């Protein structure tokens, strides 16, 4: 688990110099509303009307709200008075007319924010050399004009490698790899971890996919005259298209690695090998937030509007002047924020290898080695305030923004360092008798600085034993025609890895105390983690047995079964709190994981011109936490990522048991005593009554591929599947809704009239009166519905993952043109979902969790051309 | 050849193993090490609980009433009002305060462990002494707060058997350590030991911002509180006098003067500033316990309680002579305006964050009231009257001779009347005059500490009965000697073997 992967790439070949050229064109298809669970604008407007009837979306409330859509626009027009006329007359007819346009809008956000984009990747490589020296050089260029309207990527790579035999005993190799990536993305801030609710939130999120997924289809990007149309976000005007022009990130990444290796043959049997590499990565991230952006507008919203001034958290009040009004700390210009990440990685490995065969039957291999890893990482950032993009880049900073930043305990620049040191020594011995019986044993010791300065937990020895019996080589089987291969193998060993704890000795960190006045602030040091003298690595005993079977030279079967007993696993455990730390990372969990992996390949038709091969893979895994000293709260277990609970899987999903709707259409639940209640307290640690839904991770995964070859044509059809996992549906139900958010189609079947509770489980849209009566408790009732057994779907699917067709141009034809090889290939990826759970309303279970800054993997078509000279 | 290789190899291995350890000594990130008196000072700056008892103690006390539906329902407030088991674990919950106190104690112990290692020939170097004193006071104070919330109030007759809390004096270096509850008597004994030893070394100029640390005045006030709970009145008086100094009046919060000229925003700001002389010790707390939120809570100050507590015999009725503290209406609810809040964003651009309040934890008025009570118990009634006058001078405007405290006035108003749901019933005996004066002292004190939770501790030590009216329902009652006056040990601590309190 701590092994380091040394990159082995293409080496040059002896003989004629060769040139390879390849070009690849990929078209990514826009997402489609058919694949997502989002209500259309007609249904949503009907819902708005019901909300209005129930006291929501009222004039005063909408003018005060932080984020608002169509209704806010309507009231804003009613409020505006110009040239002796109101922007909109406050009559039911005028209002209905105004809303009709948005009811019919049915905005296709995917169409607006995405494009059927083209990505191209071109590469050329040269290789050649002689017996004594070989070389390989390649370069490539990738260009992606962007699947969304706000993305763009260019990447250039170079790779050079030379291998030289200096003497018969000594050979060396040198390799340099480098890449440069230039990328443009929509502007995003880091997510904020809300320690109270345990959720993450991201301010000013303009990720195109999240925006399309979360924005109501009643909102329109353009008005009737084709001008940009605005809604309200953070008390300021917002239009997504304009935001992409004014809020963006430029990301540049430089990645360079140099690797060298040296081999020395002492004699026929003994061989020394050295590998060393240096990798240097620098990425810089430039976030430009211009004057016209919603972010800048939010920092200025409400300066002259007392209705929102007190609520807008981006305004600032000088605490030394208690009676002052909130003011803007960004009156001029926008932000110019930079982040840099650098990494320097050094790696060395020395190995001695002894290999000898005695009497032609006893084969012995002994290996001794040592490796060392050194990684230094640095992260720094600096935020520039008041950069005037529209005034020639002159900086005009209001010092209050620095004051405001300091007050909350943040800084406008900063730097952090991380150092990773790692050493290992290992020895391996293998013996094989006549190629029939093989025994192999490995011992290694790893050491790391990650656990802290204490020496007790620093090193960890591990070992591994394995054996193989090649039965086909036995005398009684060598002559069996139909049996082309039979062998058995098994391994048993201890592996270890480092968990997320680093407190083998006490960890102190620094901070500045939280007080409003600078004169009362102090430097402080605090205990980030108490010492854990018992801290050790996470460990696992793994047993693996398997066999390979080949029949009639047409069919091959490979089966592996494994049993992994994990112990000393790091868990976040609750303590009595008396020692000073209520939660600790500690080696206090055990887990058993077992499974079978199975792969069957058949050659169904073998002939001169036509071949048909099938390959089926199947994997089954089940894990169970056998020991865990934690006491999770309801929220820990019902959340979409699942939670760990003794006796359950690592990431199990649990639900609050739903008890039907009451006579008002409000959801009800069973509590731990079996009583029906509307009150669910997410921080409660009484969790025995929760319903176990299943694991977040699939139990069964696999694929089926069929490969057809006719002369120069190759067709490959690949389906993938997974079964046995569950998905928590989006938390779509709330005590109140805005006129901005996209809503699930399930909302169409909601409770409308008394009696409906017999036919539907979708709760009512709560009236304002009800909300006022129950206050914030009503929201937790609705949220409990989001986390109830009603809002779970199966994650099973079968997908047509890939179809590809390749044509190899006949050699005879190419020879005339001086070309050595040429092929054309067309490939479609993520083509069709053959089966999934109906309660997903068409959504793709494989990409269910995507959002934030990530994008789902689209349906795409690739055409490629490869030429060799 | 092979011998040569073995030779080289063995050198490499020996050398490698020696340098390995050094190589792995590199710290993985920007963590700091504790290695100087300055670092000890900084470590102890974090040794003050970030959570606070104010809101749940206030909710359980007789200063609150049900203000009805439509107000903010806040679990710690509601569960406190009904003396139910608290289920929250974060800010303003007992469980949060429990953890926060023990966290502060862990910081103190870590500092003490290091200070111990700096000893030269058995003596602590002088530059460490003030922090040695501070660490001991932190440890004493936190355990004292814990034992007075989770244990019975000190009573010499039963303290040897009443269960207190674990007294932690060592750094925890294993994942789960076994702790056991000491008796109340034992906790008091250890608190006293740490307190007296620490008090010797406290020095105000050792701190950057003394008001956020145990300074001399705060430490003395805490000592007077400790002996007050133990009933050693001369000591109460001495420590309170040490805290107040020669001119107590200058240390009291000047509501009748300075504050009276300010608007409410300025008052709220002034209330928790380090420059306010009355604030002897402040702590930065994550809490909703600040004036604005006190106005939104469902269970809070009612007009009834306001007139009962703030209507006063020493106010001579005329509107020109009034209690000077502002009472403000927040969404139809009355609030006696005290301290404000500070909103700390979660992230530079976040609009979510935490509410903080710089809570005055130890104030000069407490020292004064402790001295008043001690003088009453020592039967030095004139001295008690003098201190009461000092207090009222800063609370009433105008304040003339007519407003002064007299035995007659006290007797008229407080004879046989505690102005609470039951008579004061401490473990020591009271004669009639003492009782009358004590009624006056404790009732006046109740008003001063209306929101900061101290009333709850008075309810415990005088065995006062509490009745909470409930809107459209029957009242709930906490009897004079009710098991619920002792908080239940947090669930997790019970799981790890701490004995639960009786219910």
- Cα A120 to Cα A219, A807, A861, A863, B398: the distances in Å are 34, 20, 12, 9, 86
Checking A268-272 for CB contacts under 8 A at 24+ apart, the result is A268/A356, A269/A354, A269/A355, A269/A356, A270/A352, A270/A353, A270/A354, A270/B2, A270/B5, A271/A352, A271/A353, A271/A354, A271/A355, A272/A350, A272/A351, A272/A352, A272/A353
d(CA A642, CA A652): 5
Position with higher pLDDT, A224 vs B197:
B197
A761 in Cβ contact with A733 (< 8 Å): no
Q: What's the pLDDT score for residue B498?
A: 92
Residues 6+ apart with CB under 8 A from A752: A50, A665, A764
Would you say how long chain B is, in residues? Answer: 503
Cis amide prior to A288 (ω within 30 degrees): no
- Cα B258 to Cα B254, B315, B325, B326: the distances in Å are 6, 20, 11, 13
* Interior/surface letters B463-497, b for 16+ CB within 10 angstroms, e for the rest: bbbbebeeeeeeeeebebeeebbbbbbbbbbeebe
Q: What's the pLDDT score for residue B120?
A: 92
Q: What's the pLDDT score for residue A848?
A: 72
List of chain A residues with pLDDT < 50: 1-8, 196-198
Residues 6+ apart with CB under 8 A from B116: none
In this complex, is the C-beta atom of B121 within 8 Å of any C-beta atom belonging to chain A? Answer: no
Strand-pair partners of A713 = A710, A807
Phi and psi (nearest 5°) for A197?
-90, -10
* Residue B313 banded pLDDT, cuts 50, 70, 90: low
In this complex, is the C-beta atom of B178 within 8 Å of any C-beta atom belonging to chain A? Answer: no
Q: What's the pLDDT score for residue A476?
A: 85
Phi and psi (nearest 5°) for A625?
-80, 115
- Record: contact B173-A532, CB cut-off 8 A: yes
Q: Where are the alpha helices (DSSP H) in B82-205?
A: 94-117, 129-150, 184-199
* Chain A contacts in chain B segment 38-97 (CB below 8 A): 39, 42-43, 45-46, 69-70, 72-73, 75, 87-90, 95
Position with higher pLDDT, B90 vs A855:
B90
B330 in Cβ contact with B296 (< 8 Å): yes
In this complex, is the C-beta atom of B482 within 8 Å of any C-beta atom belonging to chain A? Answer: no
Q: Where are the alpha helices (DSSP H) in A215-312?
A: 240-246, 294-298, 306-309
Q: Is B468's pLDDT higher than 50?
A: yes
Let me know how many helices (H) and strands (E) chain A has, helices first.
Answer: 15, 37
Q: What's the pLDDT score for residue A4?
A: 40
DSSP element (H, E) containing B248: helix B248-251
Q: What's the pLDDT score for residue A2?
A: 37
d(CA A37, CA A744): 5
ipTM entry? 0.91
B19 in Cβ contact with A423 (< 8 Å): no
How many CB atoms lie under 10 A from the CB of residue B189? 13
B212, B266, B273 member nearest A323 (Cβ): B266
B2, B107, B168 member nearest A527 (Cβ): B107
In this complex, is the C-beta atom of A268 within 8 Å of any C-beta atom belonging to chain B? Answer: no
Smallest CA–CA distance, residue B458 to chain A, in Å, is 26
Angle at A512 between CA A506 and CA A518, to 5 degrees: 165
Checking A60-66 for CB contacts under 8 A at 24+ apart, the result is A62/A739, A63/A307, A64/A307, A64/A308, A64/A311, A65/A232, A65/A738, A66/A232, A66/A233, A66/A234, A66/A235, A66/A311, A66/A312
Q: Which of B341, B337, B335 is nearest to B359 (CA)?
A: B341
d(CA A853, CA A270): 52
Checking A308-312 for CB contacts under 8 A at 24+ apart, the result is A308/A64, A308/A235, A311/A64, A311/A66, A311/A235, A312/A66, A312/A234, A312/A235
Could you tell me if residue A333 is left (phi over 0), alpha (psi between -120 and 50 degrees) or otherwise beta?
A: left
Residues of chain B with pLDDT > 70, as a percent, come to 94
| Chain A residue with minimum CA distance to B1 | A266
Angle at B227 between CA B223 and CA B230, to 5 degrees: 150
DSSP element (H, E) containing A286: strand A270-289
* Chain B contacts in chain A segment 320-349 (CB below 8 A): 322-323
Q: Which of A74, A62, A111, A71 is nearest to A241 (CA)?
A: A111
In this complex, is the C-beta atom of B347 within 8 Å of any C-beta atom belonging to chain A? Answer: yes
Q: What's the pLDDT score for residue B312?
A: 63
pLDDT average, residue stretch B138-144: 98
Position with higher pLDDT, A293 vs B311:
A293
A and B: number of Cβ contacts within 8 A: 257
Q: Which of B173, B206, B184, B359 is nearest to B282 (CA)?
A: B359
B227 in Cβ contact with B239 (< 8 Å): yes
Rounded to the nearest 5 percent, the helix, strand and coil shares of chain B are 50, 10, 40
Question: DSSP states of B373-386 as a string?
Answer: HHHHHTT-HHHHHH
In this complex, is the C-beta atom of A531 within 8 Å of any C-beta atom belonging to chain B? Answer: yes
A110 in Cβ contact with A33 (< 8 Å): yes
B72, B349, B353 member nearest A189 (Cβ): B349
Residues of chain A with pLDDT > 90, as a percent, come to 61
Q: What's the pLDDT score for residue A132?
A: 85
Suggest the residue from B17, B24, B279, B296 to mutate for an interface test with chain A (most A CBs closer than 10 A). Answer: B24
d(CA A192, CA A328): 22
Residues 6+ apart with CB under 8 A from A836: A796, A797, A844, A845
Q: What's the pLDDT score for residue A13?
A: 58
pLDDT average, residue stretch B480-498: 92
Q: Maximum Cα–Cα distance for chain B, whole Å? A: 112
In this complex, is the C-beta atom of A513 within 8 Å of any C-beta atom belonging to chain B? Answer: yes
Burial grade of B205 (CB within 10 A; 0-12, 13-18, 19 or more): exposed
Q: Is B436's pLDDT higher than 50?
A: yes
Distance of CA A265 to the CA centre of its chain: 46
* Coil, strand or helix at A832: strand
Distance of CA A582 to the CA centre of its chain: 30
Q: What's the pLDDT score for residue A7?
A: 44
d(CA A14, CA A132): 9
């Amino acid at each position: 688990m701590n092994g380091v992967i040394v990159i082995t790439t293409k080496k040059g070949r002896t003989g004629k110099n060769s040139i390879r050229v390849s070009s690849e064109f990929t078209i990514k298809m826009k997402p489609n509303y058919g694949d997502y669970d989002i209500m259309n604008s007609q249904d949503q407007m009907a819902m708005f009307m019901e909300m209005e009837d129930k006291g929501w979306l009222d004039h005063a409330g909408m003018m005060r709200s932080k984020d608002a859509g169509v209704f806010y626009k309507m009231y804003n027009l009613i409020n505006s008075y110009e040239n002796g006329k109101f922007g909109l007359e406050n009559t039911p007819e005028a209002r209905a007319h105004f809303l009709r346009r948005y009811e019919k809008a049915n905005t296709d956000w995917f169409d607006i924010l995405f494009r059927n984009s083209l990505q191209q990747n071109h590469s050329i490589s040269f290789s050649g050399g002689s017996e004594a020296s070989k070389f390989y050089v390649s370069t490539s260029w990738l260009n992606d004009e962007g699947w969304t309207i706000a993305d763009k990527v260019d990447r250039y790579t170079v790779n050079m490698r030379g291998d030289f035999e200096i003497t018969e005993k000594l050979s060396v190799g040198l390799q340099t790899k480098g890449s440069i990536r230039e990328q443009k993305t929509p502007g995003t801030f880091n997510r904020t971890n809300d320690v109270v609710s345990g959720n993450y939130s991201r301010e000013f999120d303009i990720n195109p996919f999240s925006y399309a997924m979360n924005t109501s289809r009643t909102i329109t990007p353009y008005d009737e005259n084709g001008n940009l149309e605005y809604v309200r976000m953070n008390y300021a005007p917002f239009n997504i298209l304009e935001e992409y022009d004014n809020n963006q990130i430029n990301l540049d990444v430089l990645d360079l690695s140099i690797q060298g290796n040296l081999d020395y043959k002492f004699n026929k049997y003994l061989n020394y090998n050295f590998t060393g590499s240096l990798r240097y990565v620098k990425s810089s991230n430039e976030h430009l937030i211009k004057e016209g952006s919603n972010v800048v507008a939010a920092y200025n919203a409400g300066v002259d509007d007392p209705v929102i001034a007190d609520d807008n958290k981006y305004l600032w009040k000088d605490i030394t002047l208690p009676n002052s009004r909130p003011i803007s700390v960004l009156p001029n210009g926008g932000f110019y924020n930079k982040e840099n990440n650098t990494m320097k990685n050094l790696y060395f490995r020395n190995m001695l290898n002894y290999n000898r065969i005695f009497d032609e039957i006893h084969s012995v291999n002994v290996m001794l080695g040592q490796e060392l890893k050194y990684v230094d990482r640095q992260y720094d950032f600096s935020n520039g305030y008041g950069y005037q993009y529209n005034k020639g880049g002159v900086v005009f900073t209001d010092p209050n923004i620095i004051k405001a930043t300091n007050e909350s305990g943040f800084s406008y620049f900063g730097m952090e360092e991380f150092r990773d040191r790692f050493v290992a020594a290992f020895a391996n011995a293998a013996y094989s008798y006549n190629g029939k019986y093989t025994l192999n044993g490995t011992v290694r010791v790893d050491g790391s600085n990650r656990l802290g300065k204490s020496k007790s937990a620093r090193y960890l020895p591990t070992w591994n034993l394995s054996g193989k019996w090649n039965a086909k080589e036995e005398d009684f089987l060598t002559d069996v025609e139909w049996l082309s291969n039979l062998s058995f193998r098994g391994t048993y060993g201890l592996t270890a890895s480092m968990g997320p704890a680093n407190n083998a000795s006490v960890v102190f960190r620094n901070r500045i105390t939280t007080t409003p006045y600078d004169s009362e602030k102090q430097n402080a040091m605090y205990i980030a983690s108490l010492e854990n003298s018992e801290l050790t690595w996470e460990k696992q005993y793994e047993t693996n047995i398997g066999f390979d079977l080949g029949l009639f030279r047409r069919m091959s079967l490979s089966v592996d079964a494994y049993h992994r007993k994990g112990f000393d696993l790091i868990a976040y455990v609750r303590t009595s709190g008396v020692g000073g730390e209520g939660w600790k990372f500690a080696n206090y969990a055990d887990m058993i994981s077992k499974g079978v992996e199975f792969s069957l390949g058949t050659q169904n038709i073998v002939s001169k011109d036509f071949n048909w091969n099938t390959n089926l893979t199947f994997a089954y895994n089940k894990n169970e936490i056998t020991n865990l000293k934690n006491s999770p709260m309801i929220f820990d277990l019902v959340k979409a990522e699942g939670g760990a609970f003794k006796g359950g899987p690592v990431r199990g999903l649990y639900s609050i048991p739903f008890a039907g709707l009451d006579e008002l259409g409000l959801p009800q639940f069973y509590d731990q005593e079996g009583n029906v209640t509307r009150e669910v307290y997410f921080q409660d640690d009484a969790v025995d009554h929760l319903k176990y839904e299943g694991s977040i991770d699939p139990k069964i995964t696999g694929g089926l591929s069929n490969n057809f070859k006719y002369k120069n044509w190759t067709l490959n059809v690949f389906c993938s599947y997974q079964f046995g996992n569950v998905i928590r549906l989006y938390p779509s139900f709330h005590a109140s809704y805005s006129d901005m958010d996209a809503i699930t189609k399930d909302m169409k079947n909601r409770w409308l009239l008394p009696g409906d509770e017999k036919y539907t489980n979708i709760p009512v849209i709560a009236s304002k009166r009800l909300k006022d009566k129950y206050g914030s408790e009503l929201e937790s009732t609705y949220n409990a519905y989001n986390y109830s057994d009603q809002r779970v779907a199966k994650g099973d699917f079968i997908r047509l993952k890939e179809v590809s067709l390749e044509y190899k141009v006949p050699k005879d034809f190419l020879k005339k043109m001086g070309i050595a090889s040429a092929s054309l290939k067309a490939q479609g990826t993520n083509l069709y979902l053959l089966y999934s759970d109906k309660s997903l309303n068409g959504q793709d279970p494989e990409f269910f969790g995507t959002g934030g800054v990530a994008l789902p993997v689209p349906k795409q078509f690739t055409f490629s051309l490869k030429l060799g000279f | 050849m092979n011998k040569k290789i073995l030779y080289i190899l063995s050198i490499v291995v020996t050398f490698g193993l020696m340098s390995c350890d050094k190589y792995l000594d590199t710290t993985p990130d920007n963590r700091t090490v504790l290695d100087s008196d300055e670092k000890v000072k900084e470590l102890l700056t974090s040794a003050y609980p970030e959570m606070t008892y104010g809101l749940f103690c206030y909710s359980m006390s007789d200063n609150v009433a049900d203000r009805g539906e439509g107000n903010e329902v806040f679990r710690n407030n509601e569960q406190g009002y009904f003396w139910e088991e608290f289920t929250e674990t974060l800010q303003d919950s007992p469980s949060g305060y429990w953890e926060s106190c023990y966290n502060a104690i862990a910081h103190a112990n870590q500092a003490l462990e290091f200070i111990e290692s700096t000893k030269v020939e058995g003596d602590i170097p002088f530059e460490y002494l003030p922090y040695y004193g501070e660490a001991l006071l932190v440890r004493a104070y936190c355990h004292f707060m814990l034992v007075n919330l989770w244990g019975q109030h000190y009573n010499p007759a039963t303290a040897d058997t009443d269960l207190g809390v674990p007294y932690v004096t060592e750094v925890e270096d294993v994942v789960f350590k076994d702790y056991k509850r000491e008796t109340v008597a034992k906790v008091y004994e250890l608190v006293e030991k740490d307190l007296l030893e620490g008090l010797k070394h406290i020095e105000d100029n050792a701190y950057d911002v003394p008001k956020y640390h145990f300074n001399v005045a705060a430490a003395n006030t805490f000592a007077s509180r400790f002996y007050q709970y133990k009933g050693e009145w001369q000591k109460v008086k001495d420590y309170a006098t040490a805290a107040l100094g020669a001119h107590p009046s200058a240390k009291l919060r000047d509501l009748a003067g300075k504050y009276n000229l300010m608007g409410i925003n300025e008052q709220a700001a002034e209330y928790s500033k380090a420059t306010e002389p009355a604030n002897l010790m402040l702590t930065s707390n994550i809490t909703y316990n600040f004036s604005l939120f006190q106005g939104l809570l469902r269970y809070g100050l009612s007009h009834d309680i306001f007139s009962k507590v703030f209507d006063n015999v020493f106010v001579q009725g005329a509107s020109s002579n009034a209690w000077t503290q502002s009472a403000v209406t927040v969404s139809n609810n009355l609030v006696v305006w005290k301290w404000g809040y500070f909103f700390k964003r979660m992230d530079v651009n976040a609009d979510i964050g935490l509410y903080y309040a710089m809570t005055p934890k130890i104030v000069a008025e407490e020292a004064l009231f402790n001295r008043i009570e001690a003088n009453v118990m020592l039967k030095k009634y004139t001295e008690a009257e003098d201190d009461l006058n000092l207090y009222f001078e800063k609370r009433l405007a105008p304040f003339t001779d007519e407003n002064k405290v007299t035995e007659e006035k006290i007797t008229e108003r407080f004879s046989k009347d505690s102005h609470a749901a039951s008579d004061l019933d401490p473990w020591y005996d009271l004669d009639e005059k003492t009782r009358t004066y004590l009624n006056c002292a404790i009732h006046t004190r109740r008003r001063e500490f209306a929101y900061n939770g101290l009333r709850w501790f008075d309810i415990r030590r005088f065995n006062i009965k509490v009745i909470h009216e409930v809107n459209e329902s029957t009242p709930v009652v906490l009897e004079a000697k009710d098991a619920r006056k002792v908080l239940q040990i947090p669930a997790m601590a019970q799981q790890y073997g701490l004995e639960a309190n009786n219910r």
